[in-house]
């Protein structure tokens, strides 16, 4: 599996209890999993305090209880979305000032019980802080060895490119990854997925940018629409209620029948083998769900099957 799949730890420590979270993490590592994704704000909306940090804290306890496992995993975390006042998001989000970035990374490392993370993300654009300040603050983290690589999540394309230009001008490390909501279905034009930030959804413009900047990776969050592809108790969000969805689901079902799998596995295989390829971030609540996601990364789709999936739009 290696880098083909990222385990999303968003709800670990809040919705997901510690025992089952540890079980999933252990199974992920035993299966060859490497990347674990979290954020300093996870999951403030599910915690009685109204603040985040619970996911990182749980991961820190898990790492402490598993000597040697830190050398086998790569940690991805984020800054920018943690509210500074409970119940007032996004208007009191911490933002991406140099001070906010410094305080946030120190807090994340403390909760995780580590001295570095392999990937650090700007979680969403900061409408107040100049990009120059944010880019410089992130670059300093890489220079200090605190952070391995940098990424941005929920950013418009123009800001991604502008930030990378600033980094080059500063002689600093720049963003080399984008984390957006990406899945096989497409929302109705003029709407945006309820799971995403304003610029969170992958669009044709995002894909076009990545096609021409091969050094940039795409990480895809909520790729399975929180169970919407396969679970009757998890209906698809309203923005997917249009004729294009019916066409895409029909082809998904055909390919699932041909491969002896299901919609979820086909979606994940489509993402990982696409151009540009995407690395799915999967949030699971059971080991069985994790096994299904892992199996999907090894599902081969033929060129004709992939062409049919792409043409269904």
pLDDT, tens digit, 9 for 90 and up, residues 186-212: 999 888 888 779 999 999 999 999 999
Whether the pLDDT of residue 284 is over 70: the answer is yes
Beta bridge pairs of residue 78: 121
Which CATH number does 2-311 carry?
3.20.20.100
Sign, CA torsion 132/137/142/144:
positive
Whether the pLDDT of residue 1 is over 90: the answer is no
For the chain, give the percent of residues with pLDDT over 90.
Answer: 93
Instruction: Give the pLDDT of residue 243.
Output: 93
Helix %, strand %, coil % of the chain (to 5):
45, 15, 40
pLDDT, tens digit, 9 for 90 and up, residues 68-87: 999 999 999 999 999 999 99
- Catalytic residues, by residue number, are 42
Instruction: Give the pLDDT of residue 308.
Output: 97
| Domain boundaries defined on the chain | 2-311
Q: Closest Cα to residue 264, out of 299, 238, 239?
A: 299
Q: Taking residues 161-189, what's their average pLDDT?
A: 96
**DSSP, res 45:** G
pLDDT, tens digit, 9 for 90 and up, residues 133-157: 999 999 999 999 999 999 999 999 9
Q: Taking residues 225-244, what's their average pLDDT?
A: 92
Instruction: Give the pLDDT of residue 196.
Output: 78
Residue 117, CA distances (Å) to 151, 266, 313 in order: 12, 31, 39
Whether the pLDDT of residue 313 is over 80: the answer is no
pLDDT, tens digit, 9 for 90 and up, residues 95-134: 999 999 999 999 999 999 999 999 999 999 999 999 999 9
Name the H helices within 216-286. Answer: 243-259, 263-272
CB 52 within 8 A of CB 43: yes
**C-alpha–C-alpha distance, residues 173 and 150, integer Å:** 8
Binning pLDDT at 50, 70 and 90, where does residue 52 land? Answer: very high
Identify whether 90 is preceded by a cis peptide bond (ω within 30 of 0).
Answer: yes
Mean pLDDT of the chain: 96
């Amino acid at each position: 599996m290696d880098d083909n799949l990222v385990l999303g730890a968003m709800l670990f420590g809040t919705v997901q209890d510690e025992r089952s979270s540890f079980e999933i993490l252990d199974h992920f590592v035993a299966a060859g999993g490497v990347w674990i994704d979290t954020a300093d704000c996870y999951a403030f909306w599910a915690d009685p305090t109204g603040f985040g940090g619970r996911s990182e804290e749980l991961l820190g306890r898990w790492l402490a209880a598993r000597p040697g496992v830190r050398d086998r995993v790569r940690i991805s975390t984020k800054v920018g979305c943690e509210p500074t006042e409970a119940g007032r998001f996004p208007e009191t989000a911490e933002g991406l000032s140099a001070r906010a970035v410094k305080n946030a990374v120190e807090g994340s490392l403390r909760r995780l019980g580590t001295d570095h993370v392999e990937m650090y993300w700007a979680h969403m654009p900061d409408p107040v802080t100049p990009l120059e300040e944010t880019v410089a603050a992130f670059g300093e983290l890489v220079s200090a060895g605190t952070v391995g690589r940098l990424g941005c999540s929920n950013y418009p394309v123009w800001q991604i490119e502008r930030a990378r230009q600033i980094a080059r001008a500063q002689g600093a490390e720049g963003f080399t990854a984008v984390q957006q909501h990406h899945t096989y279905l497409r929302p109705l034009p003029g709407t945006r997925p309820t799971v995403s930030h304003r610029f969170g959804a992958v669009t044709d413009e995002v894909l076009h940018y990545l096609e021409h900047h091969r050094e940039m990776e795409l990480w895809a969050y909520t790729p399975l629409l929180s169970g919407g592809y396969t679970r009757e108790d998890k209906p698809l969000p309203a923005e997917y209620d249009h004729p294009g969805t019916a066409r895409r689901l029909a082809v998904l079902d055909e390919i699932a029948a041909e491969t002896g799998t299901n919609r979820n596995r086909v979606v994940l295989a489509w993402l990982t083998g696409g151009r540009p390829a995407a690395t799915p971030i999967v949030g699971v609540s059971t080991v069985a769900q994790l096994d299904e996601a892992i199996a999907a990364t090894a599902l081969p789709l033929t060129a004709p099957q992939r062409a049919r999936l792409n043409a269904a739009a």
